[in-house]
Structure 1
Amino acid sequence: MSVKEFPSLNEQQLQRLVYEVTQFGLSNGLIMYPPAPYSNYQPVLAPITIYPTPLPRDQFLKSLDIQLIYNKLYANIVSENEWLTNIIKTLSSSDKDFTGKLWDCYLKALNNGIVQDVSLSLTRSDYMYDELSNQIKQVEFNTVSVSFGGLSSKVGKTHQYLNQNGLYSNNGDNISTYYKENEIVISESDEKLATGLYTGVKYYNDKYLNGENKSIVLMIIQPNERNAFDQRAIEYQLSKNHNVITKRVELPNVLSMVKIDKNNSNKLYYQGLEVSVVYYRSAYGPSEFNQPETWDVRINLESSLSIKCPSLLTQLSGSKKIQQLLTKKDILSKFIDNDLEINKITDTFCKIYPLDESNDGLLARKLAFEKPDNFVLKPQREGGGNNIYKDDIPNFLNSIPKSEWEAYILMELIHPKIHNNIILRNGELLNDGIVSELGIFGTYLFNEKTGEILNNNVAGHLLRSKTSSSNEGGVAAGFGCVDNMYLY
């Protein structure tokens, strides 16, 4: 099926569209806080594309189909404790500032006694549609603090509203739709991520509270969180659909506001309320741990009876080093024993190299200096703004000790199509062309010791876009915007 061109609007129609995007978005919570300083009553419209961006329907359906396989894969990785911990232990010596400290937290929690075997993960597998292969290719698999599940559904509804009200049509009758009804797909990620959290709450309530629904979710957030409304959308769905209360606590303040009852199975309490699930919307980068007590938060909460979302091992399973190792079929087959499932996900792999002293690592070191334009260098980090691209790679590697090179992976660049969509950011229209990244949310509840998967679900989608001239794509980091697709 051929791809529709973007709507062709005159200046008056375009300004009308901008007005309607802004009004609808502000009315429906498609908002975030601006960069500091700001007051609580000063949210702004989140950066958004004014049109939906084209994506092949078959590739979108494929991304949904394989999410359960990816969920199972990463649950199995964590339950294979010896393999994962050996990899992370080695990695921790080259990435001392973050992986090393998370590993140290895990060892200290293990020494204290980890009393909860069940772990919950809210994940997002990110892809770009590669023009050379005509397939989606995986950018990364995120295992901690996956964002924009709360806002994603609102973007789709915004584009749907504009289409239904004829605002994409240029024939002047204000009733003609430009896209067919089934071409703009709406994510239910706010509801489904909340349901994923509820699987952890229900498991805890059934096992420790005789089935009574009286525990809470403790959401650990960053100070001055700009993306609060994305988080709130999930919190409110959890309350509305499952009658579960969420309490928000900033990471540095956690230990002063909670109590662990060592005489009662290490149960965790917040202001006298029993906590069934600790949900991290923070703790994914070293800059968040600028106070020594914040590391103690991870150690102490990991030692509590509450179900962690994610546990330390689950968070560490999302490291780029693990993603690189999984591109080797002999390693992947340790965790998936179904050839059909293996083939489905290996189709989405890019070539990824280590930067160690193995044969592949030595080749990568050569490629990084001789053909840097073909690659991106990635550290073991989540969130936008951390990667090193193309010609910047040699200078960066020369600026750090070789002993730290192993903390990075070298990944072949994906070649996405540039679309002539328009970004609306802070009232300004950016029309330099965009590239897009598709994220598929998943939730899984599993036993880390036995590997038993208690619940496994797909939880909606997200499309993020950025100007084609920008390497990075983090929305909250200031590089991109939220988007939604039209399927063709």
Structure 2
Amino acid sequence: MVSPKPFPSLSSKQQDDLVYNLHHWSLGNGLVMFPPNFKSYQPVNAPVTLFPTPFPKNSFNDALRVQPLFNEIYSNISSLKNEEWLLNIISELSNFDRDFTGRLLDCYLKAKSIGITQPLSLGLFRSDYMLNSSDNQIKQIEFNTVSVSFCGLSSKVGELHSYLNKIDAYGSPDYYTEDELPISDSINEISNGLADGNYYYNKFETPEAETVVLFIIQEKERNAFDQRHLEYSLLKNHNVKSYRLQMDQIPALTKTDPITKKIYYLPTNKEISVIYYRAGYAPSDFKSDLEWNVRTDLEVTKAIKCPTLLTQLSGCKKIQQVLTEKIVLSKFLNSNEKKEYNNDDNDDDVNRVSKTFVNIYPMDESSNGLIARKLIEKNPNNFVLKPQREGGGNNIYKENIPGFLSTLKAEEFGSYILMELINPPTYENKIIRKDEIYSESIVSELGVFGTAVWNSETDEILTNKVAGYLLRSKFSTSDEGGVAAGFGCIDSIYLY
């Protein structure tokens, strides 16, 4: 097995110079975030590693190769032919998670009763992996279907590390070769996905109109520049304008034609082709009934939603758990839907996807759910307990699981899934957050972006693309890894 080269060994002066250049490049090129309690003119450099982190080339390529299959799986799950299957699972789950999953389901059922007028869906996805250190196999942590983040800053941190390498900030000329430092083109690829949505909207709805994309954002969004890079690319490369609104601003600043259901952005009176959610993935985004009503109202407009309510619901942890059964997984891969599956390791799409899975168990009263409870009693340190939530800071780890479960009613267990922990390699990289340098061992998480446009009525997948990647790292002593939540940092890959 090939081993990576060591991290650069720098003197104090060299490291100071590196940090100086890192700060200037970050501020000059938009590798920035807003700090807590920010003013609009006060961004700071995003937390990043000083050096790119090693990742095996074969494992990296495996993650890229499997992404179109995951795009296909979740496009098919979100199509109307599988609506009954999905809603049966979500309905049961909503009994345990009434305040969020249940309300998303209510929004969908209400929208369906009003009439959903747009059959096209747009998915901007991200599949997250850790490397299993014993065999260098990628293992999926989760699949994200709503508000996938850091497609903008991922490109920037790759450019940063390449720049530092080129100016010899790593101690010697070209410490890394150009091939060893791939730069994710996720800014352009994800904006291409938004442009695909705009293209198909115009093709089928309004061929002659100048349409725009609407970003739905959170109040006081600290990660605004990650999103802005997509907007700038969309305008530069496709001449498509975009605008940003919070959900509570929608009633005052948009209007929907009651007959055609086309929606317009009032300040410019432009027709909206795509509604792109960078909010709405957590209960905190719904402060009152107003936001929930807006989510329903937008769902019945003619604009293409990214994601639709069905697509957002398909990304819940319970779906990830049931997909670990090959017989279930095979239903959503068109090339494999008529095959019978067992545990044979055949080289087909179902097995290629299954290789990325670890064991995931329900926590309900089923036989597998009872097995999960016994596993927790025996050795909770092998597992993480996950609710149906996104955004970081929600999971329960290892020895904390039994105590947490003791605070729940037995009927609430079913809203969680139990996932086998992955054991990734650790590296002695350094993390810089503002002006503080932290020297601790880190672990990394690879996210691969994908885009897809599909027709939920005809099941036709119109586009299916890999759209770059993201590497995030965190201290090996930290369980959570959210960058915006303060747990991790943005990294880039050194391929070996």
TM-score range for the pair, normalised by the shorter chain length: over 0.9
CA contact (8 A) 1:239 1:245 kept: yes
CA contact (8 A) 1:266 1:304 kept: yes
CA contact (8 A) 1:369 1:393 kept: no
Map 1:23-422 → 2, pairs under 5 A: 23-36=24-37, 38-79=38-79, 80-169=82-171, 176-210=173-207, 212=208, 214-263=210-259, 265-271=260-266, 272-336=269-333, 337-338=335-336, 340-422=348-430
Question: Displacement of 1:463 after TM fit?
Answer: 0.3
Question: Displacement of 1:404 after TM fit?
Answer: 1.2
1:455 aligns with 2:463: yes
- Partner of residue 4, structure 1: 5
Structure 2 letter corresponding to 1:65: R
Distance 1:270 1:213 in 2: 14
Structure 1 letter corresponding to 2:5: K
Question: Displacement of 1:383 after TM fit?
Answer: 1.1
- Partner of residue 18, structure 1: 19
Distance 1:318 1:2 in 2: 36
**In the TM superposition, what whole-angstrom CA distance separates every residue of 1:154-209 from its partner, at most 9, and x where no partner exists?**
10010001111111125xxxxx1111110001000000000000111011112111
Question: Displacement of 1:391 after TM fit?
Answer: 0.9
Distance 1:255 1:340 in 2: 48
- Partner of residue 433, structure 1: 441
Distance 1:402 1:433 in 2: 38
Could you say what secondary structure the match of 2:264 adopts? strand
Could you say what secondary structure the match of 2:62 adopts? helix
CA contact (8 A) 2:275 2:303 kept: yes
Structure 1 outlier segments of 4+, above 4 Å: none
Question: Displacement of 1:433 after TM fit?
Answer: 1.1
Could you say what secondary structure the match of 1:334 adopts? helix
Percent pairwise identity? 55
**In the TM superposition, what whole-angstrom CA distance separates every residue of 1:25-47 from its partner, at most 9, and x where no partner exists?**
111000000011x1100000000
CA contact (8 A) 1:252 1:291 kept: no
Q: 1:239 to 1:100 in 2, by over 3 A?
A: same
CA contact (8 A) 1:356 1:362 kept: yes
Distance 1:192 1:115 in 2: 28
Distance 2:387 2:242 in 1: 32
Distance 2:457 2:282 in 1: 27
Structure 1 letter corresponding to 2:150: F
- Partner of residue 485, structure 1: 493
Distance 1:341 1:331 in 2: 13
Structure 1 letter corresponding to 2:413: W
What stretches of structure 2 of length at least 5 have no aligned partner? 337-346
Question: Displacement of 1:370 after TM fit?
Answer: 2.6
Distance 1:133 1:251 in 2: 45
CA contact (8 A) 2:56 2:136 kept: no
Distance 2:233 2:144 in 1: 22
Distance 2:66 2:136 in 1: 17
Structure 1 letter corresponding to 2:36: P
**In the TM superposition, what whole-angstrom CA distance separates every residue of 1:359-417 from its partner, at most 9, and x where no partner exists?**
10001112123311000000111111111100111111111211111111000000011
**In the TM superposition, what whole-angstrom CA distance separates every residue of 1:35-83 from its partner, at most 9, and x where no partner exists?**
11x1100000000001000000001111111100000011111121111
CA contact (8 A) 2:321 2:361 kept: yes
CA contact (8 A) 1:202 1:213 kept: no
Question: Displacement of 1:299 after TM fit?
Answer: 0.3
Distance 2:495 2:167 in 1: 19
Distance 1:20 1:369 in 2: 51
- Partner of residue 340, structure 2: none
Could you say what secondary structure the match of 1:26 adopts? helix
Could you say what secondary structure the match of 1:473 adopts? coil
Could you say what secondary structure the match of 2:171 adopts? coil
Question: Displacement of 1:256 after TM fit?
Answer: 2.1
CA contact (8 A) 2:377 2:402 kept: yes
Distance 1:359 1:418 in 2: 36
**In the TM superposition, what whole-angstrom CA distance separates every residue of 1:116-160 from its partner, at most 9, and x where no partner exists?**
111001000000011123201000000000000011111001000
Structure 2 letter corresponding to 1:66: V
Distance 1:402 1:215 in 2: 50
Distance 2:467 2:234 in 1: 14
Distance 1:483 1:136 in 2: 17
Structure 2 letter corresponding to 1:388: I
Structure 2 letter corresponding to 1:104: D
Could you say what secondary structure the match of 2:348 adopts? helix
Question: Displacement of 1:213 after TM fit?
Answer: 5.2
Distance 2:153 2:332 in 1: 33
Question: Displacement of 1:451 after TM fit?
Answer: 1.3
Worse overlay, 252-261 or 85-94:
252-261
Structure 2 letter corresponding to 1:162: L
Q: Cα RMSD between the aligned structures?
A: 1.0
Structure 1 letter corresponding to 2:472: R
Could you say what secondary structure the match of 1:357 adopts? coil
